Each structure stands twice: as structure tokens, then as C-alpha cells.
Structure 1
Amino acid sequence: MARYSRIDERERLEDEAARRFLAARASGSDDDWAEAYAWIAEHPAHGVAFAKAEAAWEISGRLKEVAPRIDPEAIAGPAGRFEAVVGRRQVIAAIFATAFIGTAATVAVQKASAVVRYRTAVGEARRFRLEDGSSIFLNTNSAVEIAIRERSRFVRLLRGEASFIVAADHPAPLVIDAEGTTLQARGGGFNVRLRPDVLELTVVDGMVRVAGLEGAGSEGRGDVRVVAATQGAAIRGGSVAMTALSSMQAARRLAWQSGIVEFRGETLAQAVDEFNRYRVSPLVIGDPEIASVRVEGRFRVGASDQFIGLLSPGLGIRQVVGADRSVLLLRAPGFAPDLSEDGRNLALDR
């Protein structure tokens, strides 16, 4: 079982993170903060828990600042002032305490005014600069939550794809949570994509510590892997599979940053899925026989209509546009292209 996969393990982890944060904050000494950072570096999950503890502390401070003054007699009535004061103190204490426990800490992170949220619409890509000098480039239909503080950096990738350039002069690593997988980097550049069934990591510069925490893995700290430059990783169910990437493979994964999609032997079904990321109304393959045809070519991300137009002469595919502007792809009547192993590739260079 993966480390910190059980609820009780995560609760103990968050308790330990809160203890270390409070100890370092109380003393303010460089040695105590260095000890806290060393603990964070032991496992990516430590960074997530530490960021939650810091956010929860900030939330508790804001609650005390904004709590309205209440006339005890106005709410206590004949029962007297004492019961009203005790009741209010209990409420504040309960809020403060729950801020440090599991789910409540996550809610605190999400609601903190210091958390910045960035998103892109379908077909949009945008670059954002963070307070620490890092930058995030979001691909189509993507969203992140970011909390940059003096002693911690935390990002949650909610959906889509993001490319990170991490500033190295911050005392804490950048910790990224992506659907149960934790990534940690102190500098460098890398790309993270949430696919339907797997998380895809591409490291361009520096190194990224990876932990798939929600699924099965090896005992102890064996579920942590370090992915270096020119390497990629696929993370699913707690397993981390690493692979070396050629410069061409890495460039294809990052081509979206230049507004390009590139196909080198993908099936038509895969190409349609890729174009649909940038379309409000989807392309739909209506004939299973054409789904496995392999295609090659380079296109602008918004050029799916051009892509469809090139399919007609090569494969005899016709398109039917629906009332919702979706496009159904069908084999043209009486057309039988060569679908043998030698003849099923279609080159489309535009």
C-alpha cells in the first residue's frame, strides 16, 4: 500500500505538519525553518500538508480579525453574560481547531483570500506570472489554484494542462497536487497534463519529485520517484512509469505552447480527441472502421475544420453537421480506401 494512502496516515501527517509549522513560526529561527524544509523534502506529501497548515493558520487569524463584536446580553437574555461569552469562545475555538484537521484544512486553502485562481476557456491558452517569479502557462480549458506564501508554495491543478517554470530563489519547493498525485520542484521547467485515465509529466529542465499517493505502490518511501530533464512519466493508480524522451518527442508534447498539434501515427480517434480539446462542439466518429486509420501532420489547434476537409479526398469521409454544431464523421457511400497495414496511414501536412 502506498505511503499516506490511508485516512489515519494522512491525519497523522497533517498533525505533524501543523506541529512543525507552529514550532518554526513560534521560534522564528533559521535552524527551525531549515529543519521544517528538510522534513518537507523527504516526501512530496509533506509539502502539501505543510502548505495546508500554513493556510489554516492564516485563516484562523482572519477569522479573529473579522469576527463581529457581539453584545453578550443581547444574545444571552436573562441567562446572563457568562453563558454568552463561553458560547462565543467555544464557537471560535471550534473553528480554529477544525481548520487544522483533514478536510477542513483543504476547505481553508480553497477559501483563503491569498489563494489565486486562474483558468482558461475552451480554445484559450494563457501565461500567468506568480508572486515568487515562477510562471504557469495554461492550455485550453484548464484551471489551477495557487497559494504562494513566505514559507511555502502550493498549486492545485484542477483540470487540463499546465506548463511550469519554477523560480529557484524561494526557500520552499513548489508543491503541486493533481488528482492525488503530488509533484515537487525547487526549480526548472516541466509540463503536467491530466488525461482521462493518466497524469502525464514531461520534464524539460531540472528535476521533479513524484509521488502517486492515492493508489497502490511499494512500502515506505518507495512510491517516490525523481524525474529528470528529458524524461517523462505516466502516473496512474499510484504507479509511476518513467520513460526517456527524445527531443522530438518532447517537442511534440509541448507543441501546444506554439498553438500546434502534431500527429505522427496516431489513430484518427486519437486525433479527433486532441482536436476536441479546443472545440466547444465536438467531432464525433460515426463509423468504427475509420477510427483506427493512422494520420500524420501538423495543424494549428483551431484548425480542426481544415483537418476534416483533408480527410475527404484521402479517406472518402463525409461530415454531417448537427444542430448543436457538432460534426459527425462518416464513410462516404461507395468509397473503399486501402485499409491494409501498408495503406492505412494518411499524411496531412498543413
Structure 2
Amino acid sequence: MSSLDFATLEAAARWYVDLRSDSPNEALREAHRRWLERDPRHRQAWERLGRLQGKLEQVSPAVARPTLAAARAKRRDVLKVLSLLIASGAAGTLAWQTTSLPTLMADHRTGTGERRRLRLDDGTELHLNTATAVDIHYSASLREVRLLSGEILIQTARDANARPFIVHTAEGSIRALGTRFVVRHNDGLTTVSVQEHAVEVRPFGAVQTATRVEAGQQVDFGEQHVGLLQPAIAHADAWSRDMLVVSDWALAAFISELQRYRPGHLGCAASVAGLRISGAFHLADTDTILDNLTATLPVRIRRFSRYWASVESV
């Protein structure tokens, strides 16, 4: 049996909790069936849950028979189920680079749709975007942040001991040169966007070669390569102000980005994927963002449940 990625296991845990909370209706059951059919890994994760039924009942009544309606209580239940799912993997086959067992144990983390601002010991400001996890390690010689998942915005402070500030991801490292910059880690790729000053990027496979990224530039890099320097996407740090700002984006790209801030599934039909959208959107209420789309574009929002929605043509 192949290893399952963290996102799939987390989704299975969320479905488990939702289907046992209160009285699930037929729309929720239908959305769950669609989720199972969408990817063989989804059914594999669900079958793993079935084999854990005995252990789930032993964890606590809140997990086996959740009745709390509060989102925070539900999140705790999801994490309990998720921990069992991860632990049940064959001899811990989920490596730290591709799973979030370290994410669960990270120094700081945010849930889906949550954002957080931290002030580090040296005065550096660290913003965590949705579904982000970081470890922080300051020593006598280095200031280090390890981005385990998600996206961060860093505004470095001048250090009295002149210690380098370095961000590590699974693909390599970024050294700040007195700067403000965004780092995003996703699907084996790290993206760095610089707002002020500059950074140096070093992939793990070529640590002797540094690529300098100046203010107004961004770059993608993997373990073995660094891509071409590109103009930075405007307002790449708008999420730190609870905003999503886009200019002439394809609707499919917009929906994909919005999905990061919503639990569950958010789809976009191929018939409307190419529509263009611009604007500034408040991330505090993604349902309102979706509803407002119907006033400006020839689309409708089809909802199967709170956790399953699709943007379709009218």
C-alpha cells in the first residue's frame, strides 16, 4: 500500500468528524461519496480509518461521537483522528519532507484560513499565512526559520550580533540581506518574492551557487535548480493584511488561491475557468467572496455542504 500525503489524511479525518457530528444530511453524504470517487487515495485513506475504528472509539467520546459544534473543538477532534491515521502508516513511511507529522509538532502553526503575526526575539516580524507551520531556532551565530509548510512574510530586524538570518525549506535556503520578503512552499517548489532589499537563494543540490533576488523580483527553486528571475507578483503580501488582491487573473487561478483559505473542496468548472477577474477581496469571509462573484461574472455557486462548493456557469 502506497504512502498517503498529509492533505489526504487530513481530509479523511475531517470527513470522519463531520459525518459523526450531529445528524449529517444527504447532501453531506453525497459530497463525501464524491470525494471518495475523485481520487483512489481518498478511498485508501477512508479504508485506513475503517481499520482504526476500535482505536477511534477508545481515544475519547469526543472523537468517536463528536457532539461539540464549536470550530475549535472540531479541530481538536480532527487532529486526534489525524494523529492516529499518521501513526498507523507502515513503520512511519511518511517522510518529514512530504508529510506534516513535524507540522503538528511545529513551534508555530496556523490552521486553514488562519493567519498569525509573531515578533521574534530580535525584533523581526514573522507573519504566517493559512495552513503554515514553522520552526524557529536562534543561536549565538545564526537566526534560522524552517518553513515546514505554507507561506510566510518576513521583515527582518537589524541584529546587534550581526547574525545571518536564514529561511530553510525542503528545497534549500534563503539568506536575507536586510529585507522584507515572502516565502511559499508548495509541491516540491519554493517561491521567494522580495519586497525590500534582496535575498540569496541556494538550493540544496547546489549550495555553492547563490542566486541574488532583488526587490521587485521573485523566483521559484527546487532542490537542484533555480528558475529564471521574474517580476514579483503585485501585492504578494496582501494576505498579511487579510486581503487577496488580484489583477486580470483567470478565474481558475483565483479559485485555486481562494481554496487555500477554505476547508474542504472548492472547484471551478472548465466552462468558466478562463473568465478574468480583478479586485481586492477580504479573506475573513470566503463565502461572501464567492457570493459576490455571481454579481460580476456569469457564474453560479453550487454548494453541496459547508465543505464542498463549485463555481459553475449560469
Q: TM-score range by the shorter chain?
A: 0.5 to 0.7
Q: Secondary structure at the match of 1:131?
A: coil
> Which of residues 192, 201, 222 is equivalent to 1:236?
222
Give 1:201 shift: 0.9
Match of 1:269 in 2: 252
Q: Provide closer, same or farther for how the CA distance between residues 206 and 315 of structure 1 changes in structure 2, counting only shifts above 3 A.
A: closer
Give 1:233 shift: 1.5
Q: Secondary structure at the match of 2:272?
A: helix
Letter in 2 for 1:259: D
Contact 1:167 1:186 in 2 (8 A): no
Give 1:192 shift: 0.7
Size of the aligned set, in residue pairs, is 211
Match of 2:305 in 1: 323
Match of 2:120 in 1: 130
Alignment partner of 1:139 is 2:129: yes
> Which of residues 186, 201, 204 is equivalent to 2:195?
204
Alignment partner of 1:184 is 2:166: no
Identity %: 27
Alignment partner of 1:225 is 2:211: yes
Q: Provide closer, same or farther for how the CA distance between residues 135 and 313 of structure 1 changes in structure 2, counting only shifts above 3 A.
A: closer
Match of 1:46 in 2: none
Q: Secondary structure at the match of 2:305?
A: coil
Q: Provide closer, same or farther for how the CA distance between residues 181 and 312 of structure 1 changes in structure 2, counting only shifts above 3 A.
A: same
Letter in 2 for 1:229: A
Structure with more relative contact order (C-alpha pairs < 8 Å, separation 6 or more): 1
Q: Provide closer, same or farther for how the CA distance between residues 331 and 129 of structure 1 changes in structure 2, counting only shifts above 3 A.
A: same
> Which of residues 138, 146, 153 is equivalent to 1:156?
146
Contact 1:168 1:188 in 2 (8 A): no
Match of 2:157 in 1: 167
Match of 1:305 in 2: 287
Give the Cα separation in 1 of the matches to 2:212 and 2:165: 15
Contact 1:116 1:147 in 2 (8 A): no
Give 1:272 shift: 0.7
Q: Secondary structure at the match of 1:273?
A: helix
TM, length-normalised to structure 2: 0.60
Give the Cα separation in 2 of the matches to 1:319 and 1:234: 33
Give the CA RMSD over aligned residues: 2.6
Give the Cα separation in 2 of the matches to 1:141 and 1:193: 11
Structure showing the higher helix proportion among its residues: 1
Q: Provide closer, same or farther for how the CA distance between residues 290 and 197 of structure 1 changes in structure 2, counting only shifts above 3 A.
A: farther
Give the Cα separation in 2 of the matches to 1:325 and 1:186: 42
Q: Secondary structure at the match of 1:322?
A: strand
Give the Cα separation in 2 of the matches to 1:311 and 1:125: 24
Contact 2:302 2:311 in 1 (8 A): yes
Letter in 1 for 2:203: G
Give the Cα separation in 1 of the matches to 2:245 and 2:117: 21
Give the Cα separation in 2 of the matches to 1:242 and 1:189: 20
Q: What is the CA deviation profile of residues 311-337 of structure 1, one whole-angstrom value per residue up to 9, with x for unaligned ones?
A: 3355442322223531122223xxxxx
Contact 2:298 2:313 in 1 (8 A): yes
Alignment partner of 1:290 is 2:280: no
Contiguous gaps of at least 5 residues in structure 2: 1-94, 96-101
Letter in 2 for 1:172: R
Contact 1:168 1:186 in 2 (8 A): no
Contact 1:132 1:148 in 2 (8 A): no
Contact 1:231 1:242 in 2 (8 A): no
Q: Provide closer, same or farther for how the CA distance between residues 284 and 133 of structure 1 changes in structure 2, counting only shifts above 3 A.
A: same
Contact 1:209 1:227 in 2 (8 A): yes
